[in-house]
Amino acid sequence: MTTTTTTTTTTTATSSAATTALNTTTGATTGATTGNAAHNATAGTAGTTGARGAGDVLILGNGPDAVRLTRALHRLGHPGPVRMLPEPVVTAIDRRRRRVRTADGGEHPYGTLALALGARPHIPDVPGLRCPEGQLRGGVRVGTPLAGPAAGRRATTTPGPVVVLGAGPDGTDAALALRRAGRQVTVVHPGAHPMSRRLDRTAGELLAGALAERGIRVHAGATAVEFTPGKLTLDDGRILEAATLLLCTGTVPHTRLAAEAGLPVGHGVLVDSRLRTADPHISALGSCAELTTTADGPAAPPAWDQAEALAARLTGADRTAPPPVVRLRDPALHLAVMGSRQALEEAPDQITLHDPARGRYARLALRRDRVAAAVVLGLPRAAAAVTQLYREARPVPAARLALLLGTPPLRPGAPDSPATVVCRCNHVTLGELREAWDRGARDVAALAEATRATTGCGSCTDEVARLCSARTAPSGGPGGARSAGRGAREGRAR
Amino acid sequence: MSPRRHLLVVGHGMTGHRLMEEVHRRDRDRRWHITAVTDESRPAYDRIALTSALAGDGPARLGLRPDPCTRVRTGVSVTAVDPRSRTATLDRGTELVWDALVLATGSRPFVPPVPGHDLPGCHVLRTYDDLRAIRAAAVPGRPGLVVGGGLLGLEAAGALRHLGMRPHVVETAPHLMPMQLDRAGGGLLAGLVGALGITPHCGTPLHAVHAGPGGRVAGVTLAGGRSLPAELVIFAAGIRPRDELAAAAALPRGERGGFLVDDRCRTRAPGIWAIGECAAVRGRTYGLVAPGYRMAETVARQLTDDAEGPPLPPLDTSARLKLLGVEVASFGDAHARTPGAVEFAHRTGGTYRKLVLAGDGRTLLGGVLVGDASAYPRLTPLLDRPLPANPEDLLAPVPG
């Protein structure tokens, strides 16, 4: 996923002081925050006083999410103190007294608590993946961003065929990258098509086709049942050669502390679009958090977006985290996915462009003219435009085909031309009907007699009737007035 | 004055009637003496309006001004045609001599040969007599079944509902109206039709028809095992061209039946033409009236001008109709079969509009409209031409 920067997650427990791996406070001292002077708080002093002002931010976790939030707060000039506690040293969150307890017995009060607890890769329960001691066997690597780019690099240097387990965005990205590097790649996943949690069937099948075109073998609807060095056995009995097995089977958010503190937890710590948990003084962001409003399921939203939004809110601006957009990193495969599959399939207004010959597909699921969900494949300009409309919740312009094809919209066309065929059974054009009218045929029956219109299947009868009433209306336009006059003269002459 | 020549029209449906009208209109010198022979009990009527004529006496009659040179004989069939002697034999044994023969025998309904297909209570819907039989057999409040979810099948289901029955529709294809609509359009139609009290079952062929204790139809089973109750069954599962005369007359047939004709509706035998649903123009048959009318006009021109005349124009397979109050339209390459074609669609709760464009994203190749077909007359003249405006503007309903 291009929107998450990957850095290694390392937790370091400092030897003595169990607090603050990083302290930053920014801005001049202001009277804005109560209590604490806006300077570095160090170990020991933190536990002495009682309630803290909201601007007194304590971040739990010191991984990439925590670092991003800290930097964002710094950038926005957050006036209050900002402290960070690595997650392993924390034993409990005391919400009532708004303080965090650590293993050394210390207590750290907070005004605002930001949970940046991170997540760990999910290791599936497949026999043979782990050594008896618990670590992953040789040849088995974790391929999600949490494992960092180093894992990807290690995977690409070990020679031999690679099997990627999982075809979500991470697995798909990894497969494409490995194939670009010239490796033999096979993807194994349980869904009907890759990224089946987000893509509809049409997009999924196009994506599967794109993978196949690049020589990536895909086993859909399959699960792994056993791994032995160099070989992966599937549930259908197939045995795949796997010098490297890359696990892209999702993440497990670190939610224990939140759950034990009584905060609602789903797959991750549940937060709204402002990243607030059920507790008004506690927020959560990054891979430990699960946004309830977008119902996106267990996918990691772009962390830098969240850090920005949370930091903005904590410094006084009210911002929601913009909804995530999932993109593949492959330079030639342009795929952008917004919203859940459910929203994609259930939103009331559906616009689709399907160009299978060129592998292009776009589906916009709109609600009140705004993008509720979308899939854009093979249309990079459209992807950019739709992404912007989605993130900014702006209405989609009226010229949708032009938007999707990336062409300029046409100016509205001319009014009905005389060549318009009104009665297809008898091939009677609008021009012929107008002429017949001019010559005195003033109702449907007379027009039928004169031109045969409506005497075939009859489905143009309404159309012809509308023509009559349009012509008899006083403001029928220049043509109408003229022909009425002429017709009246001719009518009498007849 | 040169002796009059005899034109024999075999069949007097909408297309046969149009032919007679056209010849009559062009033949000012009355060189042709025209006789039409039909095995139906009535002369030509508006067959398309058949189902909507349930309430009244019957569908509108397509009348001809009475004329000594034209004659329609009903309740009579032609059993054989001899191109060499230019004679036709009637079922009573009478022989008619002709100078020109136009076959306009139409189609017969296809009935799937499943067990029980001919039990009492099973009907087809093609002629006015069929309609009267169905009307007599319908019992309000009782379950009915239509086999076939195409145009005719859905109209038949509507007729049963009008007669107070509760109809189900069984269709082999994955969705309704597979000839005209795509999957999304067919799906929307199924929803709209379902809301009107007609239950569609798609993707399921009929397996068997079962009798009740009285020997009449009581129910059906579908492939896959499901059973449905039915005390009246209408087969509307397709039509087959009536080309029975081909064999004896040594006239070649199209691959899927029909009298094989060229692009001027001429069969291999001189003096014999075929028009309408029974004609296989360059091997292809058409089940809509507009192509039939173009064929009738082409033959009439040849008969009255004594010249070859221009060939048939490209035949229009587009359709626009109101099915149970739901507007449906389909035109051009509705199924995007042209290589490189692009589909652009907009679906709301109650409408589905799809345009098929060429690879350039501009040239209109076809379309499907369900729920709102008001754009149809604006779009059809644009076929095979680049769109002059954004599709959204062309598809938008025009006020008034």
Tell me B42's DSSP state.
S
Inspect the interface and report whether the beta carbons of B381 and A420 lie closer than 8 Å.
yes
3-state secondary structure of A340: coil
Better-scored residue on pLDDT, B199 or A292: B199
Q: Which residues of A203-237 are buried (b: 16+ CB within 10 A; e: fewer)?
A: bbbbbbebbeeeebebbbebebeebeeebbbbeee
Averaged over B350-358, what is the pLDDT? 96
Binned average pLDDT, 10 residues per bin, chain A of 494 residues: 37 35 34 33 38 78 88 86 89 94 93 92 92 88 68 67 94 93 95 94 95 96 95 96 94 93 93 90 91 52 73 76 81 89 92 95 95 94 92 91 86 63 80 89 90 81 83 51 36 34
Identity of the residue numbered A374: A
3-state secondary structure of B292: helix
Same fold, B5-106+242-303 and B110-238: yes
Residues in chain B within 8 Å Cβ distance of A413: 388-389, 393-394
The domain spanning residue A466 has which CATH number? 1.10.10.1100
d(CA A277, CA A127): 37
Question: What are the C-alpha distances in Å from A491 to residues A182, A446, B80?
Answer: 83, 13, 52
Query: What is the extent of the structural domain holding A361?
Result: 324-405
Q: Which tokens go with A387?
A: 């992404």
Q: Which tokens go with A368?
A: 């009140």
Mean pLDDT of all residues in chain B? 91
Inspect the interface and report whether the beta carbons of A405 and B347 lie closer than 8 Å.
no
The domain spanning residue A90 has which CATH number? 3.50.50.60
The fold of B325-395 is Enolase-like; domain 1 (3.30.390)
Express each pLDDT in B186-197 by its tens digit: 999 999 999 989
Q: Where are the domains of chain B?
A: 5-106+242-303, 110-238, 325-395
Do A334 and A306 lie in a common domain? no
Q: What global pTM score does this model have? A: 0.77
N-term to C-term CA, chain B: 56
Contacts for B376-379 with beta carbons within 8 Å, 24 or more apart?
B376/B318, B376/B320, B376/B329, B376/B331, B377/A420, B377/A421, B377/A422, B377/A430, B377/A460, B377/A463, B378/A416, B378/A420, B379/B331, B379/B355
Q: Which residues of B101-112 are buried (b: 16+ CB within 10 A; e: fewer)?
A: bbbbbbbbbebe
Is the Cα dihedral A87, A88, A89, A90 positive or negative?
positive
3-state secondary structure of A230: strand
Residues in chain B within 8 Å Cβ distance of A424: 290, 316, 318, 320, 380
Do A22 and A91 lie in a common domain? yes
Cα A325–Cα A328–Cα A334 angle in degrees, nearest 5: 95
Residue after which a domain boundary falls, among A339, A373, A405: A405
Identity of the residue numbered A186: T
3-state secondary structure of B193: helix
Better-scored residue on pLDDT, B356 or A149: B356
Model confidence band, residue B63 (pLDDT cutoffs 50, 70, 90): low
Residues in chain A within 8 Å Cβ distance of B290: 424-427, 456-457
In chain A, which residues touch B (CB < 8 A)? 348-355, 357-358, 398-402, 404-405, 407, 409-414, 416-417, 419-422, 424-427, 430, 456-460, 463, 466, 470
Angle at which helices A148-157 and A169-180 pack, to 10 degrees? Answer: 40
Of A354, A424, A425, the CB nearest to B380: A424
Tell me A74's DSSP state.
H
Express each pLDDT in B162-185 by its tens digit: 889 989 999 999 999 999 999 999
Do A211 and A269 lie in a common domain? no
Do A230 and A167 lie in a common domain? yes
Q: What is the ipTM of this complex?
A: 0.82
Question: What are the C-alpha distances in Å from A231 to residues A220, A241, B236?
Answer: 18, 5, 57
Per the structure, the count of domains in chain A is 4
- Chain A residue with minimum CA distance to B338: A357
Burial grade of B119 (CB within 10 A; 0-12, 13-18, 19 or more): middle
Do A216 and A244 lie in a common domain? yes
Share of chain B above pLDDT 70, in %: 94
Residue A134 lies in a domain: no
DSSP secondary structure of A447-492: HHHHH-TTSSS-TTHHHHHHHHHHHHSTT-HHHHHHHHHHHHHHHH
Question: What are the C-alpha distances in Å from B272 to residues B18, B21, B269?
Answer: 17, 18, 6
Residue A350 lies in a domain: yes
Inspect the interface and report whether the beta carbons of A401 and B391 lie closer than 8 Å.
yes
Q: Which tokens go with B73?
A: 């004989």
H or E stretch covering A131: none
Residues in chain B within 8 Å Cβ distance of A408: none
Averaged over B226-232, what is the pLDDT? 96
Q: What was the pLDDT predicted at A155?
A: 59
Identity of the residue numbered B348: T
Inspect the interface and report whether the beta carbons of B377 and A419 lie closer than 8 Å.
no
Q: In chain B, which among 367-396 make CB contacts under 8 A with chain A?
A: 377-378, 380-381, 387-394
Say whether pLDDT at B398 is over 70: no
Would you say A129 and A140 are in contact if contact means Cβ atoms under 8 Å apart? yes
Q: What was the pLDDT predicted at A138?
A: 86
Q: Which tokens go with A342?
A: 């459910």
Inspect the interface and report whether the beta carbons of B377 and A398 lie closer than 8 Å.
no
Q: What was the pLDDT predicted at B301?
A: 94
Question: What are the C-alpha distances in Å from B328 to residues A137, A226, A453, A466, B341?
Answer: 62, 54, 20, 19, 22
3-state secondary structure of A87: helix
> What region does A396 belong to: left with phi over 0, alpha with psi -120 to 50, or beta?
beta
> What region does A293 belong to: left with phi over 0, alpha with psi -120 to 50, or beta?
alpha
CATH class of residue range B110-238? alpha beta
The fold of B5-106+242-303 is FAD/NAD(P)-binding domain (3.50.50)
Interface with A, mutate which of B364, B374, B390 (most A CBs under 10 A): B390
